[in-house]
Amino acid sequence: MNTKISDLLTLDDFKKLSDESIQEFHKKGHTLVQNVLSGDEIEAYRPVIVGAADRYNTEKRKLEDRDTYGKAFLQIMNLWQVDADVKKFVFAKRMAKIAADLMGVKNVRLYHDQALFKEAGGGPTPWHQDQYYWPIDTNNTVTMWMPLIDIDVDMGMLTFASNSYTTGAVFNHEISDESESAFDDYVQKKGFPISRAETMKAGDATWHRGFTIHNAPGNNSDKMREVMTVIYIADGARIAPYKNEWQKSDHHKWLMGKPIGGLIDSELNPKLL
């Protein structure tokens, strides 16, 4: 196929979600959507995102010198602000519309993006809830998690405790050994089914709610698990008072310190549709 790069770089067409995906997301708090990006589109965007992640990665310590969180992944945030091509991916209407359709809203705002690259031999990502970190007054949030290469379960597949989002924040633990052990007990006690794909193709994506409990095993392969994520918030959400120091930090980093109680509408949080 002879597709021009300029055509590939526009991800603004819409993709219709199946009713099953929407229902699964509502019931379980997560769903997997295949082929969000085509093979050609991944070919165009993978080098853009991997290149930017390499340039802006600040983690230089050896794996063995890091704590559990540090071993879990290289985390390079808001690449859209520093790379115009990554911005085309993060601002893509195709993914924003999937986020809106899953959440059942007309429009979404960007919270932030992050490249999450689990190195060869990288450790597990402990159980956690993302929204523990976010001073946001709605639970209508969704994270898109997209591998940029084909991955299997041995490379750190994202793993969900299905139906676990409904009770909101469960513990006061950041991502750590403590969160792993507390959520592990909790998930077993509640009997939440554990769900993870065996394989994902580059360009497939999982979508999970901010309060869905999730983790990932370590990367037992000899390849980097290259994953790009984007967090979307239902338009109309407001900034909530901090519940912990992380939320205070997020308020300044991702919401530009705008007034608590006010709408989330800063320049870092554009409407994407």
Ligand X SMILES: O=C(O)CCC(=O)C(=O)O
Q: Whole-number minimum distance, CB 189 to ligand X, in Å?
A: 22
Residues 78, 180 contacting (CB under 8 angstroms): no
Q: Whole-number minimum distance, CB 262 to ligand X, in Å?
A: 26
> 3-state DSSP call for residue 234?
strand
Instruction: Tell me: does residue 232 bind ligand X (CB under 6 A).
Output: no
> Which positions ≥6 away from 52 have C-beta within 8 Å?
76, 79, 82, 83, 85, 86, 115
Instruction: Tell me: does residue 116 bind ligand X (CB under 6 A).
Output: yes
Of 109 and 118, the one with the shorter C-beta distance to ligand X is 118
Q: How many residues at the interface with ligand X, by CB under 6 A? A: 14
Q: Whole-number minimum distance, CB 67 to ligand X, in Å?
A: 15
Q: Whole-number minimum distance, CB 235 to ligand X, in Å?
A: 21
Listed residue (147, 146, 22, 19) closest to 95, CA to CA? 146
Of 195 and 229, the one with the shorter C-beta distance to ligand X is 229
Instruction: Tell me: does residue 125 bind ligand X (CB under 6 A).
Output: yes
Listed residue (123, 122, 125, 269) closest to 208, CA to CA? 125
Range 148-207, binding ligand X (CB under 6 A): 156, 158
Angle (CA) 221-227-229 rounded to 5° is 155
Instruction: Tell me: does residue 216 bind ligand X (CB under 6 A).
Output: yes
Instruction: Tell me: does residue 73 bind ligand X (CB under 6 A).
Output: yes
Of 130 and 265, the one with the shorter C-beta distance to ligand X is 130
Of 45 and 132, the one with the shorter C-beta distance to ligand X is 132
Range 13-72, binding ligand X (CB under 6 A): 72
Q: Distance between CA atoms of 77 and 256, rounded to whole angstroms?
A: 15
Phi, psi of 160, rounded to the nearest 5 degrees: -120, 145
Phi, psi of 210, rounded to the nearest 5 degrees: -60, -30
Of 118 and 251, the one with the shorter C-beta distance to ligand X is 118
In sign, the C-alpha dihedral spanning 233, 56, 35, 14 is positive
Instruction: Tell me: does residue 145 bind ligand X (CB under 6 A).
Output: yes
Q: Whole-number minimum distance, CB 16 to ligand X, in Å?
A: 25
Q: Distance between CA atoms of 254 and 75, rounded to whole angstroms?
A: 15
Q: How far is CA 75 from the centre of its chain?
A: 11
Instruction: Tell me: does residue 227 bind ligand X (CB under 6 A).
Output: yes
Instruction: Tell me: does residue 130 bind ligand X (CB under 6 A).
Output: yes
Q: Whole-number minimum distance, CB 124 to ligand X, in Å?
A: 8
List of residues contacting ligand X (CB under 6 A): 72-73, 116, 118, 125, 130, 143, 145, 156, 158, 214, 216, 227, 229
